[in-house]
Structure 1
């Protein structure tokens, strides 16, 4: 008589359910993450999709794949960055300076753009007295963050060769220095978190091909750096009064 096979020797046909359950868990994690993020740009969404694809398929053809945890940190950081930009806009609008201070968002941080004509006379680096309210508002913005700050002077491509400045580099640097000196000496901004650069005509935001575009390039940018790289002990916004 033929022996009856034991139940344990029978072939399982429900193994696919384990894989299906794992897949559903990953998909659920994916949608929960999307739901928890208020705004996701296309590049970050692409990275998230790649991470999910790698988790599902183990496809080693993806050269660089971020973990879900790393990607979540990056997305949360982006949301915080957008919140900061909205807060700075609110301060500018509250002080009725939307025409004087423009905000640009760049990869390196948030840029507060002020036209040259608002702060300086042509070919000079002394701050106009009537522009003090603009600088005071910029100081309020800086005091709302602990980010590093960079004041950047920019000119158009018209050469300057005055007794005071032999090049646009010198003029743009001196203007940035005037801004930094005012913020430190008059608004008690910590000098450990602020620096300056002078680009001359070599950092245009539009081509120098029309008088209107040249005027746009003659500007001072105040960069609120996205991530602080300075030491923890330099986090204080203000210098203590001596």
Structure 2
């Protein structure tokens, strides 16, 4: 008799709704996953509405699960970056290739934008800030690139770490800045590009690409970088619009 009572007591302790805890945890994890996915991506608003509706139905008291008709992850139209800016990179490469300037202009992408890197020897004589006469072909191509965009442009002068001390330039600061100004003046005065699009910086030896420990490395660091600035304002406006759409869904 005592054994039967114990068994009955054990059976009474079983909660028939205990599966709901596991179910709720699973739904919470799914919700967290999609929120994270949205936070790092640009999501098509219509697909997001479908997804939100599906999650709301899943969390309904009836416990029924309705899945929106999303065949695969690409239907969410997740865009891992600024498509217009990626197209700009392709456009710049095409212009450089078409003008046979791949050995003269190097392209690198940074968070700030796309950088056209020009070696010192292409533009200037050692220790000088006056543009060489034979730089016209290179700067013509870059003018085409600049005129083909609406982006702001930052011209950055850079040197190696060899001290500069002449009557004209007291340090690498002055030399790097003067070189950047010479390039800007070419675009503005010779090519009539809108001066409001430009800014100038002279970094001296303090923004090297590689260590200044060999003559070859120092030659790499002596350069002018032309930065096609990523249009943050336009991107931020787009992000704000998407956030607004998300709030409206809620």
The TM-score normalised by the length of structure 2 is 0.65
Tell me the equivalent position of 2:33.
Answer: 52
Give the drift of 1:80.
2.5
Match for 1:151 among 147, 151, 155? Answer: 155
Query: How many Å separate the matches in 2 of 1:83 and 1:205?
Result: 26
Query: How many Å separate the matches in 1 of 2:81 and 2:143?
Result: 24
Tell me the equivalent position of 2:214.
Answer: 210
How many aligned residue pairs are there? 184
RMSD of equivalent CA atoms: 2.9
Tell me the equivalent position of 2:201.
Answer: 197
Tell me the equivalent position of 1:112.
Answer: 116
Deviations 1:63-90 (A, max 9, x none): xxx6727721794643332221111000
Note closer, same or farther for the CA distance 1:113–1:179 as it changes in structure 2 (3 Å cut). Answer: same
Note closer, same or farther for the CA distance 1:193–1:229 as it changes in structure 2 (3 Å cut). Answer: farther
* 1:223 matches 2:227: yes
Q: Which runs of 5+ in 2 are unaligned?
A: 1-15, 44-77, 235-250
Note closer, same or farther for the CA distance 1:208–1:132 as it changes in structure 2 (3 Å cut). Answer: same
Q: Which has the larger radius of gyration?
A: 2
* 1:72 matches 2:11: no
Q: Is the 8 A contact 1:146 1:228 kept in 2?
A: no
Runs of 4+ in structure 1 off by over 6 angstroms are: none
Deviations 1:92-117 (A, max 9, x none): 00111001100010111100000000
Give the drift of 1:158.
0.3
